[in-house]
Structure 1
């Protein structure tokens, strides 16, 4: 298995694990930390908005795949070592919850592994390393809390400074709004009217109870260079509110995607209802059903004779007498019975969460059967049509059938069908590309944008991006060093953690194209920090960084940092226990380390 960067040379992944012969005994024994640093190094080009495409080539099978994110890269690599598996699981947990922040997580796991290795080389005990590194993280998280700005402040500021980019502008008709004083927001009793896209939730905080002035401004601030994908997200928000005026809150649970190879990327669009690909046979079925109000059935499992719900165990070694004397198989009788039930209740559409029996598909000449439907889609159609999901088609009766569904062939692109009801706010983002290898990348990019916007509105706060927050972390760690002069070992760890942040920001600047080298980036960072330490306000001191107006999600960033350090400390502890034979015995460890 090898990795090659798009437009660059190829390098063997396995070679990254070779240990340097000049490493100390302690470092050579901490193989886990070295492996974590090595895997992280292969993902550095994923940091920042200008991500390089990478080809992952399976040299045995001879095929390759195009990736641009850490989750996809780690998913394709053969990570046989335990550290690689731990990293993969950590990244998947971050991706499943937030759909972003994985690049920072993997990068920090690598540089913080290097910090731990350097501390071991300097003779600092494992317990002191863990304590000091944890303190450095808490200092950094405190910086996040202190420097966070409300989404309303970001929206008002961007509206005053400039109009949103045309690529992100959507036909959004927001109600009139008064921007609150950001210095004293709770001392004013002005009413902030709601945008048509959002509504309050009782469990949310004071900041998130009030609607956002201009969703387009917020979306632009957190688009991170993905303007086309964020534009589709904005269209989805607008379509949801247009189709369901009573429920004007953007519901990400009622957002789905449909990837269609062939058409150019310019034909990507957002459509009301549920959109999915059509087979040739299904196209003729849709043609016969168009223009009718149809009944619908929802199946929560597989639609096949052999399917049994979770917990059901078929009795073993039992043969039915009817199976022996009948020339008709169980599957054929089941198909005949299923078709009879669908006909009896005049069902025109069946949405199935799992897979559908191939032979049943062949016999459905007047019923549109769609498999692989997400549970959130089933739930929405259940609410809007009155249909009750069933585990088996034999459970279907009059009470379980929903009504009022329509189907139609999509004009753009024509390879798909749209299933909708009058009351649904379900929308589908149709992702298209003439390059099939890019479809997964574009779909991941769309979901990343959708979740960033969702999280921003959920948090009610954002962090300054472009490395500003991390530079403030460097500044704060240096302040702590000057205060904590009695503990030289802790000071060293804080210095190394600040250096790790410096590596992060300089890599971010290099990948963004604002500097030609990391050395140039470090010089620029040092210059900006001197201006800040001399008393210049943050936005003035860092104006060269901040002029792009980039923001990050507060919760996403914080959780990525926590997960990265938890992983590093877990690997550090595991390596130590392997070396010492147990979790206790620091004296034994220190003696062994210098053998």
Structure 2
């Protein structure tokens, strides 16, 4: 992908006495240019992009920074550093990548402007670190508890159409609980009924709280958040600690089914996956029975060796044949596997890796269901619920490794393209649930799955943190206010105020882009005017009229995204500086640079 490169016209003075004439910080310019391509992903009204893969002759609809950066060709170290930073954020939180990339671009522009004004690299880094600390302190002071958010959503905010059905179902269940309590008034002295009623009421209250918190962090993805709430409700039904309102991400999986409308998406109990017609025929013969299960953590093939395995150095490989009769090592291994499966009456094998093609064909005739690519969290859940012990090699299986009490069934209401059939694997005590995500547009499935995981992690993080930040740019406006106030205080270095002012302008750029993407303004100029007007109403706290229109963000996710963005800018700034100045060991300027 060709990236535009802006040119710096003035000489840059940095690192004390080191002066660079007519040199360009290409890395910072590239960072800003790449970040500019993702501005359409900010806010609830995202502008998706179609990415066409000429080699595979297909296309993908992307609506997140992480997917876009993975799909495009990023030449150079700056693009790779940005991609790795975004992937680290995405892997941990599944959200916050949009603000990370945007801030990396605008803060890179701030650093570049500071260099053009003759501010040293050390002063830039010191002032920008102080600016970040000011913003993080704003987050700490302005965060609100999730209980308060739940009460505010209950009193002030009207639910969207997609979430309204979930809230109505919750209210109806609460009425049923009250009705059942009235019918049992004559038994109110029984400690058993009192305990049951209290537990049911606590569970219902927890679900009510989660529903309103989910509405606050849905960020416009109401359909995906509706699935998350249904998953949370299913988990609460199948767990001993039902009154605990936390969503268990580790017991949540997805199954993508193309060719069906998005309205058919739902949440099912257990592990749901797509299988071929041949494998589905095995399910038909096994359903309705209590089955034995084995768990394999790795690949199910003869040549697989676990991580850390070292082959003996003094062994020379001669032939693939075990003897002169022509039986290969793979064939003999398959016979050993089938003998093991038959010996312990194993009906289902879950494999975290891949299975050999020949083995898959042979187990079909033995009525054994082998499922590949199972997440480790799913293996762990089945291990807990069935007492099965995961093994690295199927030949290690003994009677202590086999789990019991598994049932399989076909989901006849769901069928994908290419003759794929949906099946479910369930145990009685599992709280594992699967979100079945469908779409008539195959290119949109990946985007819908990303939305679901983003909603699930935002809700999970909100319940884990116990507090939220006002969204829709409200917290960022407070950061602008605090940066302006910090600039007015006495400073040892007068250039620090210049850097803080530029950081405040970067936040203005972020909020104005957010307002434009949400459709509240038509241009950047109109957005800046609205921001200036709004700032006049901000004193020391957030007013009820400026609470982000009922939108909230995660504290930890936002703070970590800001830190990663600034660290990336400093890393690119240091790399550019070393390239331009040719810093060598022993020079005084070397101590001013950031070490990895």
**Alpha-carbon shift at residue 17 of structure 1 (Å):** 3.1
More divergent stretch after superposition (464-473 vs 318-327) = 318-327
Cα separation, 2, equivalents of 1:287 and 1:31: 62
CA shift in 2, pair 1:120/1:196, >3 Å: farther
Which of 443, 446, 457 is the aligned partner of 1:437? 443
* 2:321–2:327 CA contact under 8 A, matched in 1: no
Match of 1:301 in 2: 298
Alignment-derived partner of residue 455 in structure 2: 449
Q: Show the counterpart of 2:554.
A: 553
What whole-Å deviation, never above 9, does each CA across 1:357-388 have from its counterpart, x for those lacking one?
11111112201110000111011101101111
Q: Is the 8 A contact 1:194 1:211 kept in 2?
A: no
Q: 2:50 aligns with which of 50, 55, 62?
A: 55
**Where do 5+ consecutive residues of structure 1 fail to align?**
1-12, 177-192, 200-209, 591-595
| DSSP 3-state at the match of 1:398 | coil
> 2:420 aligned with 1:419, yes or no?
no
Name the CA shift for 1:347/1:318 in 2 (closer, same or farther; >3 Å): same
* 1:112 Cα deviation after fit: 0.2
Contact kept in structure 2, 1:484 and 1:491, CA below 8 Å? no
Give the 3 Å change call, closer, same or farther, for CA 443–580 of structure 1 in structure 2: same
1:238 counterpart residue number: 233
CA distance in 2, matches of 1:531, 1:233: 37
1:535-575: CA deviation from partner (whole Å, max 9, x where unpaired): 8x6325xx3x5462000000000000000001101111121
Q: 1:91 aligns with which of 69, 86, 89?
A: 86
Task: Give the stretch that moved more between structures: 392-401 or 492-501.
Answer: 392-401
Per-residue deviation, 1:24 = 4.6
Deviations 1:47-100, CA, capped at 9 Å, x for gaps? 111111112235677654321111111111211211111111110110010000
Aligned to 1:259: 256
User: Which of 200, 212, 219 lines up with 1:217 in the alignment?
Assistant: 212
The reply to whether residue 18 of structure 1 matches residue 18 of structure 2 is: no
Aligned to 2:359: 360
Per the alignment, residue 389 of structure 1 pairs with 390
1:122 matched residue in structure 2:
117
- Residue 331 of structure 1 and its aligned partner are, at CA, apart by 1.1
Per the TM alignment, residue 164 of structure 1 is displaced from its structure 2 partner at its CA by: 3.3
Indicate conservation of the 8 Å contact 2:487/2:497, yes or no: yes
Alpha-carbon distance in structure 1 between the residues aligned to 2:207 and 2:441: 37
Is residue 2:276 matched to residue 1:279? yes
Kept in 1: contact 2:414–2:422 (CA 8 A) = yes
CA distance in 1, matches of 2:320, 2:520: 78
Q: Does 1:524 align with 2:530?
A: yes
User: In 2 relative to 1, CA 60–404 (structure 1 residues): closer, same or farther, beyond 3 Å?
Assistant: closer
Q: 1:363/1:588 Cα in 2 relative to 1: closer, same or farther (>3 Å)?
A: closer
485 and 391 in structure 1: CA distance in 2 versus 1, 3 angstrom threshold: closer
Match of 1:31 among 26, 29, 35: 26
Stretch deviating more after TM superposition (367-376 or 75-84): 75-84
Where 2:254 maps in the other structure, the secondary structure is: strand
Aligned length: 546
Distance 1:113 1:562, change over 3 A: same
Q: What is the CA–CA distance in structure 2 between the aligned matches of 1:93 and 1:197, rounded to whole Å?
A: 37
1:455 and 1:220 map into 2 onto residues whose CA distance is: 14
Residue 318 of structure 1 and its aligned partner are, at CA, apart by 3.0
**Structure 1 length as normaliser, TM-score?**
0.87
Structure 1 residues 553, 547: closer, same or farther in 2, change over 3 A? Answer: closer
Residues 175-213 of structure 1 show CA distances to partners (whole Å, capped at 9, x for unaligned) of: 99xxxxxxxxxxxxxxxx8898989xxxxxxxxxx9686
User: Partners of 1:494 and 1:19 in 2: how far apart?
Assistant: 23
Q: Could you give the per-residue CA deviations for residues 306-351 of structure 1, whole angstroms, max 9, x where no partner exists?
A: 1111122334523379624131111111112211211111111110
Q: In the alignment, which of 63, 70, 76 is matched to residue 75 of structure 1?
A: 70
Q: CA deviation at 1:135?
A: 0.3
Q: CA deviation at 1:162?
A: 3.8
- Establish whether residue 578 from structure 1 lines up as the match of residue 579 from structure 2: yes
Contact 2:270 2:430 in 1 (8 A): yes
Q: Distance in 2 between matches of 1:41 and 1:301?
A: 41
SS in 2 for 1:17: coil
On the 8 A contact 2:320/2:328 being kept in 1, the answer is no
Q: What residue ranges of structure 2 are gaps of 5+ in the alignment?
A: 13-19, 179-197, 416-420
Equivalent position of 2:543 in the other structure: 539
CA contact (8 A) 2:41 2:64 kept: yes
Query: Whole-Å Cα distance in 2 between the matches of residues 327 and 283 of structure 1?
Result: 33
Q: Distance in 2 between matches of 1:338 and 1:448?
A: 40
Distance 1:239 1:462 in 2: 25
Classify the secondary structure of the residue corresponding to 1:145. Answer: helix
Distance in 2 between the 1:321 and 1:576 partners? 57
- After superposing the two structures, state which structure 1 stretch, 576-585 or 281-290, moved more: 576-585
| C-alpha deviation, 1:22, in angstroms | 3.9
In 2 relative to 1, CA 96–69 (structure 1 residues): closer, same or farther, beyond 3 Å?
same
Distance 2:279 2:396 in 1: 25
Q: Aligned partners of 2:200, 2:160: CA distance in 1, in Å?
A: 20
Instruction: Report if the CA contact (8 A) 1:24-1:121 is conserved.
Output: yes
Give the 3 Å change call, closer, same or farther, for CA 140–322 of structure 1 in structure 2.
closer
For the 8 Å contact 2:513–2:524, the answer to whether it is kept is yes
User: 3-state DSSP class of the match of 1:532?
Assistant: coil
Q: Contact between 1:295 and 1:347, CA under 8 Å: does it hold in 2?
A: yes
> Are 1:291 and 2:288 counterparts?
yes
1:487-502 equivalence runs, <5 A: 487-502=493-508
Contact in 2 for aligned 1:196/1:241 (Cα 8 Å) = no
1:398 positional shift = 1.1
Match of 1:152 in 2: 147
**Counterpart of 2:253 in 1: which secondary structure?**
strand
Tell me if structure 1 keeps the 8 A contact 2:62–2:68.
yes
Regions of 4+ moved over 6 Å? 193-199, 586-590
